Amino acid sequence: MKKATSSAPKSRPPIVVVVGHIDHGKSTLLDYIKNTTVAEKEVGGITQRVSAYEIKHHEKTITFLDTPGHEAFSSLRERSAKIADLAIVVVSAEEGVKAQTVEAQNAVTAANLPYLIAINKIDRPTANIDRTKQSLTENSILVEGYGGTIPCLPISAKTGEGVPELLEFVLLMAELAELTTEPDVPATGFVLEATRHPKVGVITTLIIKNGTLHLSDFLVVGSIVGRIKKLENFRGENVSLLQASSPAVVLGLPVMPTAGAPFRVAPDKNAAEKMARETADEIRATESELKNQTDGATLLPLILKADNVGSLEALQKE
């Protein structure tokens, strides 16, 4: 069994959430950065769940979270904003600020995240950067040069113009944030997404915020306990360990966890089960309190089904 040892904190890569209104180019931006075709693979051209990717820029790693822009997926954006270290709010140079732009910016500020504005689609004939900045100002988003201090960079996710400068600025913000990890301690972090595969069972995507996650670790998510039977990086490659800021795909949880739930690693099965029992007691106490608050109300029982817990959240909201 691996034992935790003390060590000096070390710097870790930033976890960056990309948010904004639907069709303003979030997935296209990530697509350009990592040179894949995520936007083309999504159903209807809209990101349906949170996805996480690692990229390299000047030999430095950045983890990106891609979130849906449709209003139904506001809970996913809020969850991602709480998990991330920095945020990029994407705004179209053609359309300016829209409803989900404001919603996304509110989620970012509520999570107290440093953020910058990326004015996208500057390659379009009808793009107007100054008008977009004015639109931001009218919505109390005060960028540099327009009465505020929020960094604002013009980019084209299609041609790549301005994207290197955007990544440079992200790394600068990360350096100022002084993000650290203790690599020798058991991993902690959050559940990004989960789904159930008919052949292999529950597949859970995690984001590690501190420590190192190992194959065969005992994982505790709320009242759920499982041992990691398979550990993959974001490319789907089998690995024996992953460190802070990395997305991790794991097999081994017996039931699907709640998206956004924190996870911990226990030293052994007994310790994991004790952690889970303590959390279960807290959950029962909370549920009992909520039940008392709804006494006398008429409740309509519904069963909602979705392919993953993130989409289930959207259904619940609607």
With cut-offs at 50, 70 and 90, classify the pLDDT of residue 49.
Answer: very low
> Average pLDDT, stretch 270-294?
78
Amino acid at 26: K
Alpha-carbon dihedral 85, 80, 165, 54, rounded to 10 degrees: 90
With cut-offs at 50, 70 and 90, classify the pLDDT of residue 6.
Answer: low
Q: How far apart are CA 188 and CA 209, in angstroms?
A: 6
With cut-offs at 50, 70 and 90, classify the pLDDT of residue 74.
Answer: low
Give the pLDDT score at 287.
65
Q: How far apart are CA 317 and CA 169, in angstroms?
A: 35
Task: Point out which residues pair with 213 in neighbouring strands.
Answer: 242
Give the pLDDT score at 5.
54
- The set of residues, in sequence order, having a beta carbon less than 8 Å from that of 137 and lying 6+ positions away, is 143, 146, 147, 148
> Average pLDDT, stretch 187-213?
92
209-259 pLDDT, tens digit per residue, is: 999 999 999 999 999 999 999 999 988 889 999 999 999 999 999 999 988
Give the pLDDT score at 44.
44
The percent of residues in the chain predicted with pLDDT above 70, rounded, is: 84
17 within 8 A of 65, measured Cβ to Cβ = yes
Give the pLDDT score at 131.
96
Output 215 or 7, whichever has higher pLDDT. Answer: 215
Task: Point out which residues pair with 19 in neighbouring strands.
Answer: 89
Output 50 or 261, whichever has higher pLDDT. Answer: 261
> Average pLDDT, stretch 95-109?
89
Task: Point out which residues pair with 205 in neighbouring strands.
Answer: 193, 249
Q: Is the pLDDT of residue 53 over 80?
A: yes
Output 315 or 130, whichever has higher pLDDT. Answer: 130
Closest CA to 247 of 308, 186, 191, 310: 191
pTM for the full predicted model: 0.82
Residue with tokens 């997926």: 73
Q: Is the pLDDT of residue 282 over 80?
A: no
135 within 8 A of 39, measured Cβ to Cβ = no
Give the three-state DSSP class for 57.
strand
Of 14-28, 118-132, 296-310, give the lowest mean pLDDT range.
296-310
Give the pLDDT score at 103.
86
Give the pLDDT score at 295.
63
Give the pLDDT score at 312.
75
With cut-offs at 50, 70 and 90, classify the pLDDT of residue 92.
Answer: very high
Rounded (5°) CA angle 203-227-247: 45
Give the pLDDT score at 100.
84
Q: What does the block give as tokens for 258?
A: 């709640």
DSSP letter for 253, please: -
DSSP letter for 53, please: E
33-47 pLDDT, tens digit per residue, is: 887 433 444 444 433
